[in-house]
Chain A
Amino acid sequence: SSELTQDPVVSVALGQTVRITCQGDNLRTFSASWYQQKPGQAPVLVISDNNNRPSGIPDRFSGSSSRNTASLTITGAQAEDEADYYCNSRGSSGDHVVFGGGTKLTVL
């Protein structure tokens, strides 16, 4: 099992707000990044260092972190946001990388 835990499936109504979470003890110390992966495509970084949005990523994507939980929030979800979302951070050993198990987001 992964050191980072994500809900496997989350759904949101079109235009509504959804929060995807990532839990792990490592997150008390290290920041998290978030990746979006659409079917048949490579992942894309959407949030880094808990709350930084790379250029080109829509501002409806935001991130936050509190205690052992990092969150990705999509405010006003669009149909094109339907995808798998993965968090990552440092592992418990400190020098390794770990990914969460992923969350499949469905936009209804």
Chain B
Amino acid sequence: QVRLVQSGAEVKKPGASVKVSCKASGYTFIAYYIHWVRQAPGQGLEWMGWINPHSGGTNLAQKFQGRVTMTRDTPISMAYMEVTRLRSDDTAIYYCAMGGAIKLNYWGQGTPVTVSS
């Protein structure tokens, strides 16, 4: 069965960076996009972007361009999402999800990231 297992919770100071990992299994890794979606406390879902594991190409929401990097390591079916210059409003649960360009079929368990001085 499809599984996406994410790295554990992080606590960071403002201005630092965080890198979240997502280990995929149960399907052909390069055949589906990996999306990243975040959810601030008590808020809705916010799409951040996707990476095409086959080509490495990315498509980021405009507000994250220049501050977010998405990468992958295909031999080990891992995807990564790094956010730099963290701010307090980056405090959120970060999810990876696999699917097509728009449809998100399966989601990881989420990685809480807290930004606090």
Contacts and interface: CB of A to CB of B under 8 A. Distances in A.
B105 interface: yes
B108 interface: yes
Interface residues of B, number: 23
A48 B47 CA distance: 17
B109 interface: yes
A5 to B, nearest CB: 12
B104 interface: yes
Q: Which 3 A-B pairs have the closest CB atoms?
A: A42-B107, A97-B47, A102-B44
23 contacts: A30-B102, A31-B102, A33-B102, A35-B45, A35-B104, A42-B95, A42-B110, A43-B104, A43-B107, A45-B104, A45-B105, A48-B103, A48-B105, A86-B44, A86-B45, A88-B45, A88-B102, A88-B103, A96-B47, A97-B35, A99-B37, A99-B44, A101-B44
Interface string A64-107: 00000000000000000000101011100001111111100000
B1 to A, nearest CB: 10
A108 interface: no
B102 A45 contact: no
A101 B105 CA distance: 19
A44 B109 CA distance: 11
Nearest to A90: B102
Interface-central residue, A37, A43, A48, by most chain B CB under 10 Å: A43
Interface-central residue, B59, B97, B103, B110, by most chain A CB under 10 Å: B103
A97 B46 CA distance: 9
A49 B109 CA distance: 24
A54 B103 CA distance: 12
Contacts of B104: 33, 35, 43, 45, 88
Given A45-B104, A96-B59, A97-B47, 12 more contacts: A2-B44, A33-B103, A42-B110, A48-B103, A49-B103, A84-B44, A88-B47, A97-B102, A98-B47, A99-B37, A99-B46, A102-B44
